[in-house]
Structure 1
Amino acid sequence: MESMKLVDGTSYFSCGDGETVIFIHGVGLDKSMWGGQVAGLAKQYHIIGYDMLGHGDSPEPQSRDTIEAYAEQLERLIKGLKIDKPITVVGFSMGGLVARAFALKYPHRVARLVILNSVFNRTEQQRRNVLLRCKDVEKFGPGANVNAAIERWFSQEYRGANPAQIDAFTQRIITNSKNGYLHTYKLFGESDNHGVSKLNGLDVPTLVATGELDIGSTPEMAHGLALHLPNAKVIVLEQQRHMMPVESPQIVNGMLLRFFEEQKLKNQTKETLQEFANGA
């Protein structure tokens, strides 16, 4: 896995060969969360993961930055890497919101879109709960709600079997920059309906997936979001919680590979039919 920084400071890794798939992490995490996806996909795809603004080794967001600034960060990364062909964008949780914003702002860049364990059209109570957690972070820093977050994200069995990894995730959250974490968390709390009126014009193949037991990014949210996307399918993975890419990488990777291959086959069929029509 290769790690480096671009001129604008965005930290990323790049590995594997084939079509490019870019992964976007969630609030409080960083590019290291995608180790299971690298292990399962890098033999077939060119995998890139990067740190969002305010996370890992990337720059802090500016005080007035909206979610579009996070989409613009990804555009600068793609330009810096000189990637010309349309890519697949996979966004997890907050990264799913960034992926949506990116696809709306730069649709020519996106061949496929995957939104994992993300949020849409929260109830007032759900939105209030997130913003209350933001107030706790303002007072006590990134570690304010870390234990409750870990319990929501991972199953009890996984936490018991993988204490070192759970501790690493806990430390990752606690050691975040307070300002970067808080700014991003507020956007996460407020941006679940970003661009909703434009989503019906986003005609790219889209997979919206979450876990059956994900109480923050619910199956209802996944189905609701997909209704606004003209070319979307929904998958709800049984018995999975929020951190399913980490807790169950083989299951998630299998789902991603099937989706990628389905879209490749559809594209090949379209090309064949077009060639036939042109020849006729």
Structure 2
Amino acid sequence: MIGLQAERTPAGTSYLVAGQGYPVVLIHGVGLNKEMWGGQIVGLVPHFQVIAYDMLGHGASPRPQPGIGMEGYAEQLHELLEHLQVQQAMVVGFSMGGLVARAFALHYPQHTQALVILNSVFQRSEQQRASVVERTRQAAEHGPDANAQEALSRWFSREYQAANPAQIAAIRQTLASNDPLGYLTAYELFATQDMYRADDLTSIKVPTLVATGELDPGSTPQMARQLAAQIADAQVVVLKEQRHMMPVESPRLVNQMLLDFLQTACHLSPPIKGIVA
């Protein structure tokens, strides 16, 4: 990725670091890895120290321990920041990574400078929960590739899929090549932990942005608004006409939103105008 060399923590977490300034951590979603953030790394590196890593069971990071909960994924990030001697970071989580970011902010508030939750889940309806539980069952039976085509159809617009077949094929290969146990462990948490410590979300006191796409069927605008309502002074942005993988499909739009929020959160230059809400 843009010439960066991945490194490892003592516990084995694979990560990339680029740029200087306030640290910003990027956490990917289930079945993906740190490579999904290529567009954000390019856009954020001129302004921040950007850290992207592979969650447990993904990419080049080790498998999670049996029975791990959300706190185990939060602990992975804590170990990474300790290794890098980073005292505080602005944490950006996408989809499952948004759950990890929430868990990190709850368990390690002293190390959280700001929080961004992108295209993530909260308070699923019974129908939404039944659907994701069924996808978990299919993944358990058939492996990480079981839902790949359906997932890509949810994640990207038809226009983007048609215009970028090589990239879509590469993402499908990433999904298919996941370690089955690591993938299933994360997917089960993704399917069941949308309300993880929901009653404690009011304790989060750092600047928070909750954002999703107008057309994201699994991480809906309603979810974003309900989640933001639980966190004091959280901002909500719904990007028009965007689907789930908006950081990949529309990196400039997402980067503009992130820069606006992050630069304000760490009291840098004035906010960038033109956010689509």
* Contact 1:207/1:234, CA 8 A, preserved across alignment: yes
2:93 to 75, 91, 94: 91
Matched, 1:17 2:20: yes
1:244 alignment partner AA:
M
Q: How does 1:24-63 map to 2 (within 5 A)?
A: 24-63=27-66
Deviation of the 1:125 alpha carbon: 1.2
* Aligned ranges 1:184-223 → 2 under 5 Å: 184-223=186-225
CA contact (8 A) 1:2 1:15 kept: no
- Aligned partner of 2:233: which letter? N
Which letter maps to 1:141? G
SS, match of residue 245 in structure 1:
helix
Q: Where does residue 68 of structure 2 map in the other structure?
A: 65
Q: Which residue of 2 aligns with 1:238?
A: 240
Q: Percent identical across equivalent pairs? A: 53
Paired residues, what number?
Answer: 267
In structure 1, runs of 5+ residues without a counterpart are 269-280
Tell me the equivalent position of 1:105.
107
Shift of 1:267: 11
C-alpha separation in 1, matches of 2:268 and 2:122: 28
Partners of 2:180 and 2:264 lie apart in 1 by: 42
- Tell me whether 1:132 sits opposite 2:122 in the alignment: no
| TM-superposed deviation, 1:266 | 8.8
Q: Distance in 2 between matches of 1:20 and 1:212?
A: 29
Classify 1:43/1:266 alpha carbon distance in 2 versus 1 (closer, same or farther; 3 Å). Answer: closer
What is the Cα deviation at residue 123 of structure 1?
0.8
Equivalence for 1:277: none
TM-superposed CA distance for 1:39, in Å, is: 0.9
CA distance in 2, matches of 1:71, 1:79: 13
What letter is aligned with 1:66?
G
Q: Show CA shifts across 1:239-261 (max 9, x none).
A: 00000000000000000011122
Residue 165 (structure 1) aligned to one of 162, 167, 184: 167
Deviations 1:212-232 (A, max 9, x none): 000000000000001100120
CA contact (8 A) 2:263 2:269 kept: no
Task: State the shift of 1:96 in Å.
Answer: 0.1
1:177 maps onto 2:163 in alignment? no
| Pick aligned residue for 1:253 from 244, 252, 255 | 255
Contact 2:207 2:233 in 1 (8 A): yes
SS in 2 for 1:186: helix
Paired letter, 2:122: F
- TM superposition shift of 1:200: 0.7
Report what 2:275 is aligned to. Answer: none
Could you say which structure has the larger radius of gyration? 1
| TM-score of the two chains, using structure 1 as the length reference | 0.93
Q: Which runs of 5+ in 2 are unaligned?
A: 271-277
The amino acid across from 1:46 in the alignment is Q
Structure 1 stretches of 4+ with a deviation exceeding 6 A read none
Counterpart amino acid of 2:61? Answer: S
Query: Structure 2 CA distance, aligned partners of 1:176 and 1:54?
Result: 8
